[in-house]
Amino acid sequence: MAKQLRGVVIRVRDLDAAAERYEQILGVAPTRLPDEVFSMPGKVAGIRFDLGGSFVQFVAPVGDDAPLGATLDKLGEGLSQVSFWVDDVDAEMARFQATAVRFTDDAPRDLPMGRVVFGHPKSLNGVMWELEEHGDVFGG
């Protein structure tokens, strides 16, 4: 079972505009995310607003060939994914697969913030789900 709803990720075209707008709205300064925290380093840029035990994150494509750019062209700006902390990402992945959830990869990826796997939006009502096994380098 998912341990904690950790946060939401919103796709945008202009990351700087989102940073400025949401810093005013949330009253919290964003943190620029390092390239290596993304599953596609060099293709995605992001900022994160830490809100106690959860976060709101914004991502934008980097370069003309970034897959996120195609998603923005198709779906526009909006909710990209929800992030859950889990105790055992392999067990959760197997449990989700038993209910016909597909994943973007065959196995979890090792990233600086922990092991992650992404449930495919086509099998989750149009929203990608990130299952993350602890190791968050941003605290919380």
Averages of pLDDT over runs of 10 residues in the chain (140 residues) are 83 96 96 84 90 93 88 92 92 94 92 87 91 65
- Strands 54-61 and 4-11 turn out to be parallel
Report the run of H or E that residue 19 belongs to, with start and end: helix 15-26
Which pTM does this prediction carry? 0.83
Which residues have CB under 8 Å from 103's CB, separation 6+?
93, 96, 97, 117, 118, 119, 120
Q: Where are the domains of the chain?
A: 4-133
pLDDT at 136: 52
Q: Which CATH number fits domain 4-133: 3.40.30.160, 3.10.180.10, 3.40.190.10, 3.30.1490.390?
A: 3.10.180.10
Residue the block writes with tokens 């994943």? 103
- The two tokens of residue 102 are 């597909």
d(CA 72, CA 86): 28
Q: Where are the beta strands (DSSP E) in 19-138?
A: 31-32, 44-51, 54-61, 78-86, 109-111, 114-119, 128-133
